[in-house]
């Protein structure tokens, strides 16, 4: 699967290669100190080589790296992992690390994306450092023919799994009053049990008990950890104190929230959900989000409609804190320029 053709990486931009990049690419790849680190680049390298390569460079798989509008290198993601090179005059400025981080985030934003391999020549310590900084770990050695060197060269073989990447790259969202971040065990268990175990909170959710035993809370947290893709929960903190939880389910891209009753009516629910919605659309490229609200939860229905959600139907749902089935309202929010959800958080 191809990723976005354009990726933001801090002040850098990753964009599709084009004909205007010919001079910059040829100038760099014609130098052995660049081509010698790559497996399939010939030396010498000319305009014809660039044009042949450009014809095969798929948007969403190969990107030019720009810094302040200037071309500084290339990064690609192939079946055997990422590859990158930086123009000699732009090396040592962190461009490769930042570009790789953006590509990895885009890769793992797909729930179906698997672990990533990577390789670099054993004598390429700079590239190995970039990979290790991103979380890749060496798994072995192999030999590979380097076209520019005209010889078999030893490679270091690396691997990065989703869990390692997610732990190193937690989703943290800062808003004017709140901080949203992954939940942690055992740190957050007691606060979650206290907030979610209140009957007035639990009855409006589909999974909480009242009271909510701490062993059940632990299992609930561990069932939906941050993995870099939809299907996670984030704690909501105000001035260092947990006041609730937001979540984005993988199924139907369904969002939800519960908040400490002591914080109701202060605008924090709206602020937290606005941040989650913006992140869901910008980070994961989701076309729409859904929500399911009990029909007697008037405050949540007002909140969702105020955020732009529209009703798509009615159903019935259960809650461990209620007896029997109860009417629910099904809601959806489409990603459109008109609702302002195309901006990153």
For residue 150, count other CB atoms closer than 10 A to its CB.
Answer: 10
* The predicted structure's pLDDT at residue 342: 43
Distance CA 340, CA 67 (A): 27
| 248-269: average pLDDT | 97
**Separation CA 313–CA 207 (nearest Å):** 21
Q: What is the distance of C-alpha 203 from the center of its chain? A: 32
- Report the distance separating Cα 35 and Cα 33, nearest Å: 6
Encode pLDDT of 77-100 as tens digits.
998 999 999 999 999 999 999 999
Strand 62-67 relative to strand 70-78, pairing: antiparallel
Looking at the predicted structure, is the pLDDT value of residue 344 above 80? no
**Residue 184, φ and ψ in degrees, nearest 5:** -130, 140
Of 260, 234, 259, 261, nearest in space to 249 by CA:
234
- Where b means 16+ CB within 10 Å and e means fewer, 69-91 reads eebbbbbbbeeebbbbbbbeebb
291's enclosing H/E stretch is strand 288-294
pLDDT digits (tens, 9 = 90+) for 9-39: 889 999 999 999 999 999 999 999 999 999 9
CA pair distance 6, 344, nearest whole angstrom = 14
Residue 337 has pLDDT above 60, yes or no: no
What DSSP letter does each residue of 157-192 carry, written as one string?
EEEE-HHHHHHHS---EE-SS-EEEE--TTTTHHHH
Which stretch of 49-58, 112-121, 309-318, 332-341 has the lowest confidence by average pLDDT?
332-341
Spell out the domain ranges in the chain. 7-166, 170-339
- Give the pLDDT of residue 1: 62
pLDDT over 50 (residue 213): yes
**Which of 5-42 are b and which e, b meaning 16 or more Cβ less than 10 Å from the residue's Cβ?**
eebebeebbbbbbeeebeebbbebbbbeebbbbbbebe
Helix (H, G, I), strand (E, B) or coil at 234: strand
Are the C-beta atoms of 180 and 282 separated by less than 8 Å? no
pLDDT of 210 higher than 70: yes
Q: What is the pLDDT of residue 339?
A: 46
Burial class (CB in 10 A: 0-12, 13-18, 19+), 253: buried
Q: What does the pLDDT read at residue 336? A: 80
Q: How many Cβ atoms are within 10 Å of 113's Cβ, its own excluded? A: 17
User: Look-up: residue for tokens 């907030």?
Assistant: 195
In CATH terms, are 7-166 and 170-339 the same topology?
A: yes
How many C-beta neighbours within 10 Å does residue 147 have? 15
pLDDT of residue 289: 98
More confident residue, 120 or 10: 120
What is the structure's pLDDT at 267? Answer: 98
Q: What are the tens digits of pLDDT across the range 136-184? A: 999 999 999 999 999 999 999 999 999 999 999 999 999 999 999 999 9
The pTM score is: 0.80
**Nearest Cα to Cα of residue 193 among 210, 176, 205:** 210
Average pLDDT for residues 186-198, to the nearest whole number? 98
- CATH number for region 7-166: 3.40.630.30
Angstrom distance (rounded) from CA 191 to CA 257:
15
Judged by DSSP in three states, 243 sits in strand
Residue 341 has pLDDT above 60, yes or no: no
Average pLDDT over the chain, rounded to whole? 95
Banded model confidence at residue 215, pLDDT cuts 50, 70, 90: very high
The residue-averaged pLDDT of 317-329 equals 97
* CATH match of 170-339 with 3.40.50.410: no
Cα 17 to Cα 21: distance, rounded to the nearest angstrom: 7
Q: pLDDT category, 338, cuts 50, 70, 90?
A: very low
Integer Cα distance of 231 and 233 in angstroms: 7
Q: Do the beta carbons of residue 228 and residue 166 sit within 8 Å? A: yes
User: Can you tell me the distance from the alpha carbon of 20 to that of 5, in angstroms, rounded to the nearest whole number?
Assistant: 17
- Candidates 245, 229, 217; CA nearest to 108 is 229
């Amino acid at each position: 699967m191809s990723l976005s053709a354009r990726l933001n990486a801090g002040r850098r931009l990753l964009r599709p290669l084009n004909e205007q990049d010919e001079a910059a690419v040829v100038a760099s790849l014609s130098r052995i100190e660049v081509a010698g680190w790559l497996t399939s680049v010939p030396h010498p390298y000319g305009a014809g080589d660039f044009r042949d390569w450009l014809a095969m460079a798929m948007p969403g798989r190969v990107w030019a790296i720009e810094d302040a509008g200037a071309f500084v290198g290339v990064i690609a993601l192939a079946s055997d992992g990422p590859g990158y090179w930086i123009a000699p005059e732009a090396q040592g400025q962190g461009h490769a690390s930042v570009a790789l981080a953006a590509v990895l985030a885009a890769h793992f934003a797909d729930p179906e994306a698997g672990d990533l391999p990577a390789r670099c020549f054993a004598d390429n310590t700079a590239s190995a450092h970039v990979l290790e900084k991103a979380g890749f770990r060496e798994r072995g050695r192999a030999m590979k023919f380097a076209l520019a060197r005209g010889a078999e060269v030893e490679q270091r073989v690396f691997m990065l799994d989703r869990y390692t990447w997610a732990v190193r790259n937690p989703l943290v969202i800062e808003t004017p009053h709140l901080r949203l971040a992954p939940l942690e065990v055992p740190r957050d268990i007691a606060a979650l049990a206290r907030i979610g175990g209140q009957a007035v909170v639990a009855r409006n959710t589909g999974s909480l008990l009242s009271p909510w035993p701490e062993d059940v809370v632990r299992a609930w947290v561990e069932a939906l950890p941050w993995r870099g893709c939809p299907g996670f929960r984030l704690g909501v903190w105000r001035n260092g104190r947990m006041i609730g939880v937001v979540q984005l389910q993988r199924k139907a891209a369904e969002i939800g929230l519960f908040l400490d009753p002591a914080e109701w009516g202060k605008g924090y629910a709206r602020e937290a959900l606005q941040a989650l919605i913006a992140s869901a659309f910008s980070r994961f490229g989701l076309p729409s989000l859904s929500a399911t609200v009990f029909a007697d939860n008037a405050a949540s229905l007002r909140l969702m409609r105020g955020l732009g959600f529209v009703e798509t139907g009615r159903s019935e749902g259960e809650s461990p804190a209620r007896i029997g089935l109860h009417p629910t309202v099904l809601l959806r929010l489409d990603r459109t320029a008109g609702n302002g959800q195309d901006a990153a958080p």
